[in-house]
Amino acid sequence: MAKKWLEARKRKSEFEYDETKREFEMAIGKPFITIKVEIPTGFEDLYNQFLNLEKDEQFHEEVKDLAKKRLILEKRYRKSEI
């Protein structure tokens, strides 16, 4: 029973640390988002390649470009509403 209690406290402490770290990074640096991307259906045979995308700088650049394009579209849409 004590072990379960200690593990629960440890997880809570890790969660609080992660939240505090994120708030600090957002306040000091540029804002960022964290998203969960699941492997697309039908690509299960590319499991390892999918996991490697997390460290792939080219993939990160492509995602940044996608975010820029999306924000540009949002900006244009808002202007057209006014």
Same domain, 47 and 65: yes
Same domain, 15 and 39: no
pLDDT confidence of residue 46: 98
Same domain, 19 and 55: no
Q: 56 versus 22: which is more confidently predicted?
A: 56
pLDDT at 68 over 90: yes
Same domain, 4 and 26: yes
Compute CA distances 3 → 9, 14, 18, whole Å: 10, 16, 23
In which region does residue 42 sit, left (phi positive, over 0), alpha (psi from -120 to 50) or beta (all else)? left
Same domain, 7 and 40: no
* Parent domain of 59: 35-82
Q: 9 versus 62: which is more confidently predicted?
A: 62
Same domain, 45 and 81: yes
Please state the pTM of the whole predicted model. 0.64
Alpha-carbon gap, residue 62 to 67, rounded angstroms: 9
Residue 36's pLDDT band (boundaries 50, 70, 90)? very high
pLDDT confidence of residue 4: 66
